[in-house]
Amino acid sequence: MKIVCDNKVRFLDGVFNNIADIEFVAGREISADTVKDADALIVRTRTICNEQLLKGSNVKFIGTATIGYDHIDTQYCEQNNIFWTNAPGCNSGSVCQYIVSVLTCMAIHYGFELKDKTIGVIGAGHVGAKVIKAAKQLGMNVLVNDPPLQLSGNKDYDFCSLDYLLQQADIVDIHVPYTASGEFATHHLCNEAFISKMKDGAVIINSSRGAVADNQAVLTALTNNKLLTAVLDVWENEPDINRELLNRVYVGTPHIAGYSVDGKANATMQIVRSLSKFFNLGLDNWIPDTRQYPGVSLNYDQMNDYKLVLRSYNVMYDSIKLKTSPEKFEYFRENYPTRRENL
- Banded pLDDT at 302 (limits 50, 70, 90): confident
Q: Say whether both 103 and 234 belong to one domain.
A: yes
Q: Say whether both 131 and 196 belong to one domain.
A: yes
Q: Which of the residues 255, 273, 339, 340 is marked catalytic?
A: 255
In angstroms, the CA 221 to CA 217 distance is 6
User: Does 260 map to a domain?
Assistant: no
Please give the C-alpha separations between residue 332 and each of 55, 60, 319, 326, in angstroms, as whole numbers: 33, 32, 11, 9
Q: Say whether both 136 and 188 belong to one domain.
A: yes
> Which of 200, 226, 252 is a domain's end point?
252
Q: Answer whether residue 342 shows pLDDT above 80.
A: no
User: Does 165 map to a domain?
Assistant: yes
What's the structural domain count of the chain? 2
pLDDT at 297: 58
Question: Is 255 known to be catalytic?
Answer: yes
Query: Which H or E run contains 234?
Result: none
Question: Is 291 known to be catalytic?
Answer: no
Q: Answer whether residue 160 shows pLDDT above 80.
A: yes
Q: Say whether both 65 and 111 belong to one domain.
A: no
Q: Say whether both 145 and 131 belong to one domain.
A: yes
Q: Answer whether residue 304 shows pLDDT above 90.
A: no
- Banded pLDDT at 303 (limits 50, 70, 90): confident
Phi/psi for 173 (5° steps) reads -115, 120
pLDDT at 298: 63
The range of the structural domain enclosing residue 217 comes to 92-252
pLDDT tens track for 92-130: 999 999 999 999 999 999 999 999 999 999 999 999 999
Residue 74 sits at the vertex; the CA angle it makes with 124 and 254, to the nearest 5 degrees, is 55
Q: Which residues pair with 118 in a beta bridge?
A: 141
Q: Which of the residues 51, 192, 238, 330 is marked catalytic?
A: 238
pTM of the predicted model, to two decimals?
Answer: 0.88
Q: Answer whether residue 300 shows pLDDT above 70.
A: no
Q: Say whether both 69 and 163 belong to one domain.
A: no
Question: Is 311 known to be catalytic?
Answer: no
Q: Say whether both 80 and 199 belong to one domain.
A: no
Please compute the mean of the pLDDT values over residues 300-311 and round it to a whole number: 82
> Which of 32, 58, 86 is a domain's end point?
86
Q: Say whether both 106 and 209 belong to one domain.
A: yes
- Banded pLDDT at 68 (limits 50, 70, 90): confident
pLDDT at 293: 79
Q: Say whether both 100 and 23 belong to one domain.
A: no
> Which of 200, 221, 252 is a domain's end point?
252
Q: Mean pLDDT across the chain, nearest whole number?
A: 95
Q: Which of the residues 175, 209, 248, 340 is marked catalytic?
A: 209
Q: Say whether both 150 and 176 belong to one domain.
A: yes
User: Does 206 map to a domain?
Assistant: yes
Q: Which residues contact 283 (CB under 8 A, 6 or more apart)?
A: 15, 19, 272, 273, 275, 276
Assign residue 212 the CATH number of its domain: 3.40.50.720
User: Does 167 map to a domain?
Assistant: yes
In angstroms, the CA 75 to CA 50 distance is 9
pLDDT tens track for 253-291: 999 999 999 999 999 999 999 999 999 999 999 999 887
User: Does 296 map to a domain?
Assistant: no
